[in-house]
Structure formats: structure tokens, C-alpha cells
Amino acid sequence: MSEPTTPERIFAAADELFGSMGYDGVSVRDIAEKAGVNKASVFYHYDSKDALFERVLDRYYTAHHEALEDVWGLVGDPMSRLHAVIDSYIDFMLANQRYPRLIVSMINAANPQHLEFIQRSTGSLFNWTERALGDITPDSGPLAARQFYLTISGAVTNTFIYAEAVAPWWGGNPLSEGNLATRREHIHWLVDMCLEGLARERTDV
């Protein structure tokens, strides 16, 4: 296996530092020292701290989108599809636990440029949800696709954001294999209730 290139080392260092310390807590010097390069090398390969931060986040957003897209067409009925999406979402977050922390730190920084980047990136996921659920959800109201987007993304993402905070009274690590399996079942149940509501709405019309 070949040694990582300089851009790869810088990227990996930025990913780790931004994920653990947030955008404001990390300097270009920190990234350079972590990567074993000088500051000029960081600027040469990535132009600026902002550009590097957005590159890190963009990789997560792109991989996240692709993970959901890959499973959506594998199974037929809406319930099975959404269960598969939820499982893929949870698996992705489990493998990329810096991702939700990066999003939170970016929002908390109140940087208009960062917020615009988040809006563009989450917009692609939101639009995908509307396309994926367009045939079974109304355009507006409590059962619209946008509600599914917030319900699923909030339920999954908060599992990882609050894991350490709730661990003392959760009965152990919420991200342990057993606890996460139970969490999957709960989120499946939430989606099933929503789908049952959709079925009732169509019957009543």
C-alpha cells in the first residue's frame, strides 16, 4: 500500500481536527502540524481554511447521498425501502461519526458562507427525499416528504450527536451493537406509523 500523498495527509488531518474541535477551534498551523507539513503547503493544495473545511464536508455529503441512493432502488414497497434507507443512514453515521459533529460546529459558528454551503448540500438530500417519496406523499401538510426528511434525519443524526451526553442514564453506550439495534427498530417503527398515516389519508379521500 502506497504512502498517502501530501494533499491526502492534509485532508485527513483537517478531517480529524475539525471533527474533534470544530471549525473555530482549528488553525491552519494545527492542520499543518498534524499533517507533518508547513502552512504554505496547506494553502498551496487547498487555498484556504474555508476551502479545506468545505472539501471535508463535501466528501461526507456526497458519500451520504450516494449511500442512500444505492439502497433506495434495491427493494420494492415503500416500507422496505425506507427501512433500508434508515439502516444505510445509521451505518453511514456509525462509520463517519465526525460528520454530524462537523455540521453542528458549522451551524454554531454562524458564518453566512458556511450556512450557505450547508443549505446547498442539505438541499440536495432534501430534493432527493422529495423525489424518492413523491409518489406516496402529499405536497404539503404533516405527511409531506419534507416532514419525513426532518423526522428521519433528526432521529438518526441526534442518536450520534447526543450519544455521549445520554450514556450515563441510557444504560451504557447508545452506539453499542445492542443499543443501536434497538434504536434502529424504534426509527423503523416511527416511519411505519407515518406510512400508516399516509395509507389512512388515501383511504379517507
Let me know: does 19 contact 101? Beta carbons within 8 Å. yes
Helix (H) or strand (E) holding 155: helix 145-161
pLDDT of residue 38: 95
Residue segments in the chain with a per-residue pLDDT below the cut of 50: none
pLDDT of residue 99: 86
Q: Which three cell numbers stand for residue 166?
A: 445520554
pLDDT of residue 205: 52
The mean pLDDT value of the chain amounts to 88
Residue with cell 383511504: 203
Alpha helices in 73-144 (DSSP H): 78-95, 98-108, 112-133
Let me know: does 159 contact 183? Beta carbons within 8 Å. yes
pLDDT of residue 204: 61
pLDDT of residue 110: 67
Q: Which domains does the chain have, with CATH numbers?
A: 1-47 (1.10.10.60), 50-204 (1.10.357.10)
C-alpha closest to that of 75 among 94, 60, 88 = 88
Q: How far is CA 173 from the centre of its chain?
A: 20
pLDDT of residue 75: 66
- Give the model confidence (pLDDT) of 128-150 as tens digits: 888 888 888 888 888 888 998 89
Residue 40 and residue 35: Cα distance in Å, rounded?
A: 12
pLDDT of residue 5: 94
